[in-house]
Amino acid sequence: MNKKVVLIESDPWLGEHFGQLLAGEGFKVKLVSDAYAAMDAINDEQPEVICMSLTLSGANGLSLLHELQSYTDTAAIPVVVWGDRTSQVELEDLRPYGVRRLLDVATMEPADLPATLRSVLA
């Protein structure tokens, strides 16, 4: 597949794990851990898809999503988000921010992330 993806996860272990899952499925992954690094990586990499945690350290995930929507080029990139039940956010709330899928980390299977990215890229 070899599609470029920017993966944003504050927890380095979880980020590495998701990165390995995606790399194993043929994605070219750029892993970053915060919103500021994400903006740089998105500008540099011009990814086909962005996947990220909703609960980032520092500037939060919604701030980043809002920032991405501020620019024509980044607003067009599909976004996949993961969070848990405590975040109490629905996909419909996130659609205006360019989010195409919302994954629940409490129930998702390891194969779900690459499958979801493939589906939004199809």
Partner 1 sequence: MATVQGSNNRGEYDIDESSLLAAAAGELSSPLVLLRQLSLMLSGDDIAPAERKRLADQLTLTSERALRLTGNIVFPTHTPRLIELEPVNAVSLCNDVVHELSPLFTAHGKNIVVPRRVRVPLLIANRELLRRLLVALGDNALHYSSDTQPVKLTITSRGDRVRVGVRDYGPAVPINTIKRLEERMKQRAAVIVPRRPQTSGVALLGASRLAEAMGGVMGMTRHQDGATFYVDLKVSGQMSML
Which residues of this protein are in contact with partner 1, per CB under 8 A?
10-14, 17, 33-34, 55-58, 84, 86, 105-106, 109-110
Task: Transcribe 98-112 into DSSP letters.
Answer: TEEEEEETTT--TTH
> At 31, which helix (H) or strand (E)?
strand 28-32
* C-beta closer to partner 1: residue 44 or 104: 104
Cβ closest to partner 1, residue 91 vs residue 106 = 106
Nearest-approach distance from CB 24 to partner 1, in angstroms: 10
Give yes or no for a contact between 25 and 73, defined as CB atoms under 8 angstroms apart.
no
Select 62 or 75, whichever has its Cβ closest to partner 1. Answer: 62
